[in-house]
Chain A
Amino acid sequence: MLTLEALTVRAGDFALSADLSLDAPGRVAVIGPSGAGKSTLLDAVAGFRTPASGRVLWNGLDITGLPPGKRPVATLFQDNNLFPHLSLDENLALAIRPRGGRLDKSEAQRRDAALSRVGLGGFGQRRPGEVSGGQQSRAALARVILQNRPVMLLDEPFAALGPALKAEMLSEVRRVADEMGALALIVTHDPGDARRFAERTVVVAEGRAAPARPTEELFADPPPALRDYLGT
């Protein structure tokens, strides 16, 4: 269970507060108007932003002070998910051994299995620039699989893809998250994404992240802040 306990995060003169818990495994959407602090919330969970007050807990363990690499968290960013000068194999090797060194046989097998799992078997020698945008997203997903962390954060990850590819990738992520038994948090501004992907949804608006509610229930009876955003 991921708990944000009386959390306040400041970015400039903007402040976001959150006091909520999310059960793992599970799929949660974070939705709200742009500039409301969706990415700030994810940054605090991932460790890219130090909260001004409050704590971040994972299964009761305080992880507020841990650096990003030491958290039980893997992130799919909006872009720059792969180092462009390294082949897909090399990129994935860094996810397995972030302190360097050659992969041993079982590690190499894990890497190849992860690539195959996202449908990129045999693409390992290529660089990110030599595969399509959709394949890059898949390779990034393979990276997240290999990191094998119980929390997956996705910060509007497939914004650059077309609608069909994006839907395909979302169901892929859904499959992977369910198989890993992970807690997956996806930031999106698209209600459709939230309804397709997430069992529960957190609305971020007016400097506050509200506790998660079942997605369908939420959209059936949106609170005022969400109603303003949706324009209904």
Chain B
Amino acid sequence: MAQRPLALIAGALVCALTLVPVGAVLWRADGLSAFGPGAWQALRFTLWQAMLSAALSVLLAIPVARALARRRFRGRSLLVTLLGAPFILPVIVAVLGLVSVFGASGLVNRGLDVLGVPGMTIYGAHGVILAHVFFNLPLATRMILQGWLAIPGERFRLAASLGLSSREMFRVIEWPMLVRIGPQAAAVIFVICLSSFAVALTLGGGPRATTVELAIYQALRFDFDLGRAAMLACLQLALALAAGLVALRLSGRAGQGAGLDRVVPRWDAARGPARALDAFAIGLAALFLLTPLALVALNGAPGLPDLGWPVWRAALHSIAVALLSTALCLIWALPLATRRGEVVGLLGIAVSPLVLGTGLFILVRPYVNPVALALPATALVNALVALPFALRILRPEAEAVRTDYGRLAAALGLSPRLWLTRILLPRLRRPLGFAAGLTAALSMGDLGVIALFADPERATLPLQVYRLMGSYRMEAAQGAALLLLALSLALFWLFDRGGRVADA
């Protein structure tokens, strides 16, 4: 099928595009800037917030997952589906929603005001952690729910026939599972939060709430200090690599969302208090996750008609970037959809977008104004970052097509072109649609590299929302955020739908 050379080219490109920028960063960092107190502080905050975010997300997820595991109610499957949604939810949209709930004039503070209690502010370290919990509570819940549903029903039946109390049952059956899954979930979330940029950019900042990623951005954007940016990028690289290795060891194959529709049959949880507790956990989680999004929709709708040209232009940029990075990502993913290719693809996730961005910045600066490359660079980095997810989705299916039909194709002597267009692509329609949807939505909502490079002319929609927020034009920001949310979901839906339409 003559695909080996293509796979080698694609793999080499991924390696080059991730390793060369990293190399550029390492080369520039060479003794250019000492590890100052600012870097220490950023490192300490990064570790501290990631740890706290991971711990809180997992602890809060346990009662929610338990309730979802043992209750069947209307809307349960919708809720479980929604738990997967933060993956394609633009960070800036969620942040705006959280501000509407917990911000200075948000719901909570208005409530506190009525009660005469002093208000709270969402900006600062606790805001960063709040947003991280918002994003990762659903992930933790899904992972733990998976753990619960993986416990064989026979064990619960045996426990019920022995007449174990709820407490005993927890100790004997559920606690061992939690001890296993809990740390895995925490490790994954810890790694995710280590490279938190958009949340720290919007809600953090200042010496006491700056992550390393944010510090890289500040060094480049505000101080034009390439040496310090490079030094910080090396620090981030070391962090991500170390944490990634730990997480890889801890996490087996958790988090693959199959079969979450089951409910564990329970005989101990029918009594009133248990029911009330479960209802409370699910209700609170739903409220916490859905209110911010509902507020974005409610507050954003009135602003939609008069968004203004800069917002629309940014939206067009974002759509172009999303489509370009989707195309890039899929063109990459197809030849790499093998076991080895998947390992190569992981590079994209091991290296943080800001480090990649810094490297690209260093590389292109002698030749062109980096600003001119803001949009293509963003599309490229987004494609690299989405590649591991696309491969995770495509690889098993692509391998199945090869094992099932490779011999028939070889026996017929099908040309490589015909194999690709008539067999492989049509057979991969569904996973391709899903992967394309994820990539497009991820890229649409990304607020990372673009912030490094962009000028007002070349903003993407998430950056435009951030700028409106920064200039305290909250109504316009909310309108633009609603547009962003709608576009992200629409792109995801269109691609995913396209893959599901009855095979042509």
Contacts and interface: CB of A to CB of B under 8 A. Distances in A.
The 8 closest A-B pairs by CB, nearest first: A69-B413, A68-B410, A99-B415, A98-B413, A100-B418, A98-B412, A98-B414, A80-B404
B157 interface: no
A46 interface: yes
A143 B407 CA distance: 14
B404 to A, nearest CB: 5
Interface string B382-425: 00000000000000000000001101101111110110001100
Q: Which of B404, B411, B418, B503 has the most CB of A within 10 A?
A: B411
A81 B417 contact: no
Q: Which of B404, B407, B427, B503 has the most CB of A within 10 A?
A: B407
Contact of A99 (B405, B410, B418): B418
A83 B415 contact: no
Contacts of A68: 407, 410-411, 413
A215 interface: no
Interface in A86-108: 86, 90, 94-95, 98-100
B184 to A, nearest CB: 35
Contacts of B38: none
Contact of A67 (B408, B413, B423): B413
B84 to A, nearest CB: 28
A98 B408 contact: no
A99 to B, nearest CB: 4
Given A85-B503, A86-B422, A80 B408 contact: yes
B407 A85 contact: no
Contacts of B427: 83, 85
A98 B422 contact: no
Contacts of B111: none
Interface string B415-444: 101100011001100000000000000000
B429 to A, nearest CB: 8
Interface size on A, as a range, is 20 to 34
B72 to A, nearest CB: 34
B264 to A, nearest CB: 35
A177 interface: no
A46 B426 contact: no
A67 to B, nearest CB: 7
Interface in A128-186: 147
A48 interface: yes
Nearest to A140: B408
A80 B422 contact: no
B415 A94 contact: no
Contact of A100 (B410, B415, B426, B503): B415
A74 interface: yes
A98 B414 CA distance: 4
Given A85-B427, A99-B418, A77 B408 contact: yes
A75 interface: yes
Interface size on B, as a range, is 10 to 19
Contacts of B423: 83
A69 B408 contact: no
27 contacts: A47-B410, A48-B407, A48-B410, A68-B410, A69-B411, A69-B412, A69-B414, A75-B411, A77-B407, A77-B408, A80-B404, A80-B405, A80-B408, A83-B423, A86-B422, A86-B426, A90-B422, A94-B412, A94-B414, A94-B418, A98-B412, A98-B413, A98-B418, A99-B413, A99-B418, A100-B418, A100-B422
A139 B463 CA distance: 57
Contact of B426 (A81, A85, A94): A85
Interface string B27-42: 0000000000000000
Contact of A70 (B407, B413, B417): B413
Contacts of B404: 80
Interface of B: 404-405, 407-408, 410-415, 417-418, 422-423, 426-427, 503
A46 B415 CA distance: 18
Given A68-B411, A83-B422, A95-B412, 17 more contacts: A48-B410, A68-B413, A69-B411, A70-B413, A73-B411, A77-B411, A80-B408, A85-B426, A85-B503, A90-B422, A94-B412, A94-B414, A98-B412, A98-B413, A98-B414, A98-B418, A99-B413
Given A80-B405, A85-B503, A100-B417, A94 B411 contact: no
A85 to B, nearest CB: 5
A164 B193 CA distance: 64
A47 B503 CA distance: 32
B411 A46 contact: yes
A185 B46 CA distance: 68
A69 B419 CA distance: 13
A148 to B, nearest CB: 12
B413 A83 contact: no
Nearest to B418: A100
Contacts of A90: 422
B501 to A, nearest CB: 13
B225 to A, nearest CB: 56
A100 B414 CA distance: 8
B502 to A, nearest CB: 10
B418 A81 contact: no
A69 B411 CA distance: 5
A95 B408 CA distance: 10
A58 to B, nearest CB: 16
Given A86-B422, A94-B422, A81 B415 contact: no
A69 B410 contact: yes
Contacts of A46: 411
A39 B411 CA distance: 15
Contacts of B415: 98-100
Nearest to A146: B412
A75 B409 CA distance: 11
A100 B420 CA distance: 12
A64 to B, nearest CB: 16
Nearest to A127: B503
Nearest to A70: B413
B227 to A, nearest CB: 56
Contacts of A67: 410, 413
Nearest to B403: A80
Nearest to A99: B415
Contacts of A81: 408
A48 B407 CA distance: 8
Contacts of A48: 407, 410
B46 to A, nearest CB: 49
